[in-house]
């Protein structure tokens, strides 16, 4: 697989192999199968919750609204918000693609 050009402090051979494996998944069912094996239920719930928090923050929801909708703590909401504003742009990349996909399906 192609080496990344993004300068992350997290880059390791193990993470490269994990991300390469994720990129090989073909559909939602394969994602469920793989992630159910590799993550705990709590880890999956936490990751999916963070994505929903990011989506709601980008939709200009308040912390209170986000907390009520997702059940996320204000600490989690704050951390996700910092990532949206100052992070590696990962949330924005995927949320832009989701927005584009949802726009095309309308």
Do 34 and 44 contact (CB within 8 A), yes or no?
no
For 33-88, the pLDDT digits (tens) are: 999 999 999 999 999 999 999 999 999 999 999 999 999 999 999 999 999 999 99
Q: What distances in angstroms separate CA 60 from CA 36, 55, 74, 81, one per listed residue?
A: 32, 9, 15, 11
Phi, psi of 70 (to 5 degrees): -100, -20
Residue 7 has pLDDT above 80, yes or no: no
Q: How confident is the model at residue 1 (pLDDT cuts 50, 70, 90)?
A: low
Domains and CATH numbers, the chain: 9-38 (no CATH), 41-104 (1.10.1270.10)
Spatial contact of 52 and 70, defined as CB atoms under 8 Å apart: yes
**Short-list 25, 62, 6, 3, CA closest to 36:** 25
Helical H segments across 1-106, by residue range: 13-23, 28-38, 41-58, 63-70, 74-86, 90-104
């Amino acid at each position: 697989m192609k080496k990344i050009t993004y300068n992350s402090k997290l880059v390791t051979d193990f993470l490269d192999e994990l991300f390469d494996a994720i990129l090989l998944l073909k559909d939602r069912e394969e994602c469920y199968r793989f992630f159910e094996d590799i993550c705990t239920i709590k880890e999956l719930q936490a990751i999916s919750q963070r994505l929903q928090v990011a989506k709601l923050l980008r939709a200009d929801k308040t912390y209170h609204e986000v907390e009520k909708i997702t059940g996320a703590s204000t600490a989690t909401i704050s951390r996700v918000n910092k990532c949206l504003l100052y992070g590696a742009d990962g949330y924005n990349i995927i949320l832009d693609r989701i927005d584009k996909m949802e726009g095309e399906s309308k």
